[in-house]
Structure 1
Amino acid sequence: MNVFDIIGPVMIGPSSSHTAGAVRLGRVVNKLMDGNIPKEVEITLSGSFAQTYMGHGTDRALLAGIMGYHSYSPEIRDALKIASDRGINYSFKKENIKGAHPNTAVIQYELDDGTIGFMQGASVGGGNILVNQINGMNVDFNGDNNTILVMHEDKPGVIASVTNVMHWKYAELNISNFHLSREEKGGNAIMTIEIDSLPPETLIEDIRELENVSNALLIRRL
């Protein structure tokens, strides 16, 4: 247990689960969008998120995170207006997602270039989060570690190519967790690679250049 677990995060808002955790979920989406501002965002809230999101500022917190703000950013208070001023068309809806954690949010976004993305995650207490779906595929990470997401085709040798690059060019990096998810055999897939330290930006560039890799993203420790 660390001090964060004991005293919780530094934050704006009344609730670590409903505000700080919501900001962190939004920040994952900000990373998935590579820092771009979306033109459309639809946020589905389930469980207690759906029941109390206005009173606890969960709506503002999620939008603030999507725009790249932190849990301690004073802009959270005005996130709805800031989003509107930036031309973000956002909406919220309630839905009972079967089997989901009580504080679950599903965030769907569209960028100006037509790119569409999807993330499902939950705020699990004390400002901590768990991300369990990206673009319809199962993942499993919490943002506590630097995380590399590799979107690729499910072809033989792709995993070896990525890990070989990491081994031969960035031997100082240590992989602490690895997870693979795929839509179907031979279809789209996502590698989730958690590492102990922050990698050089060149690692992401090198991975993006590999055959059958469509994109790679670094989600720095949140």
Structure 2
Amino acid sequence: MKYNSVFDIIGPVMIGPSSSHTAGAARIGKAARNLFGKEPTWARIHLYESFAKTYKGHGTDFALVGGLLGFETDDPRMSKALDIAKEKGMEVEFIEDNSAANHPNTVRMLIGNEKEQQELVGISIGGGKVEITELNGFELRLSGNHPAILIMHNDRFGAIASVTKILAKHEINIGHMEVNRKDVGKEALMVIEVDQNVDDAILKELQSADHIIQIAKIVS
């Protein structure tokens, strides 16, 4: 499957009733949509623990779908997101998953269309804040509090150096960086938090660096 990878995290202003179960859920949904790069035509949403028990009463269901529709957390349409998604032909399935989770407010979102799909795990940690902990099988910990670049690359010598050289040339300071790979020599994911938003021209230059497959950015 081909995976797209452009996403950002949205702000804390919200339509209620709950910052953790509504605003946080909307932020996770919006992250999933922007990662996918377009509005999906279907979504399978696994809810765990507290999310699974209260998602209807606390608005987690419509908030997640509202995020997939691209709504901001304070969008007045948020409470009608399920109806709007149905009108647009988006097929949404909620699954109350009994599997154990590391956090009670955890959701696994599989979204896609007829050609491609993507998987994301997010948790709502309170006050509308979220963390993205998994992306297409790669573990990560991303809050969206700082601008960041996500780079899918081949696990080869020189890939990291080629990226950091370009960032240094443009005087972009790295605040935090982590690299994760599924296996030696296979695909790897580089997550770089930086001190300022990165222009698209720099992303294009990074895309041409050694062993780079795909690039996404998060704006602050």
TM-score (norm 1): 0.90
Match of 2:213 in 1: 214
Opposite residue 200 of structure 1, the aligned amino acid is: D
Q: SS of the counterpart of 1:177?
A: strand
Match of 2:127 in 1: 126
Equivalences for 1:69-148 in 2 at 5 Å? 69-112=71-114, 114-148=115-149
> C-alpha displacement at 1:121, in angstroms?
1.1
Alpha-carbon separation, structure 1, partners of 2:101 and 2:62: 25
Q: Is the CA contact 1:146–1:219 (under 8 Å) kept in the aligned structure 2?
A: yes
> C-alpha displacement at 1:57, in angstroms?
0.7
Match of 1:200 in 2: 199
Q: Is the CA contact 2:48–2:101 (under 8 Å) kept in the aligned structure 1?
A: no
Match of 1:3 in 2: none
> C-alpha displacement at 1:209, in angstroms?
2.2
Alpha-carbon separation, structure 1, partners of 2:143 and 2:99: 20
Equivalences for 1:151-170 in 2 at 5 Å? 151-168=152-169, 170=170
User: How far does the alpha carbon of each residue in 1:144-187 deviate from its partner, in whole angstroms, 9 at most, with x for none?
Assistant: 1112111111111111111111111x21x221111111110111
Task: State the superposition RMSD in angstroms.
Answer: 1.4
Q: Is the CA contact 2:154–2:213 (under 8 Å) kept in the aligned structure 1?
A: yes
> C-alpha displacement at 1:96, in angstroms?
2.8
Instruction: Label 1:90 to 1:99 Cα distance change in 2 as closer, same or farther (>3 A).
Output: closer
> C-alpha displacement at 1:140, in angstroms?
0.9
> C-alpha displacement at 1:213, in angstroms?
1.5
TM-score (norm 2): 0.91
Opposite residue 125 of structure 1, the aligned amino acid is: G
Among the aligned pairs, what percent are the same residue? 36
Q: Is the CA contact 2:155–2:186 (under 8 Å) kept in the aligned structure 1?
A: yes
Corresponding position: 1:12 with 2:15: yes
Opposite residue 214 of structure 1, the aligned amino acid is: I
Structure 2: gaps (5+ residues)? 1-10
Match of 1:5 in 2: none
Q: Is the CA contact 2:49–2:100 (under 8 Å) kept in the aligned structure 1?
A: no
Q: Is the CA contact 1:28–1:219 (under 8 Å) kept in the aligned structure 2?
A: no
Alpha-carbon separation, structure 1, partners of 2:26 and 2:219: 15
Q: Is the CA contact 2:138–2:180 (under 8 Å) kept in the aligned structure 1?
A: yes
Q: Is the CA contact 1:31–1:219 (under 8 Å) kept in the aligned structure 2?
A: no
User: How far does the alpha carbon of each residue in 1:91-110 deviate from its partner, in whole angstroms, 9 at most, with x for none?
Assistant: 11011332420000000111
Corresponding position: 1:149 with 2:150: yes
Aligned residues: 210
Opposite residue 127 of structure 1, the aligned amino acid is: G
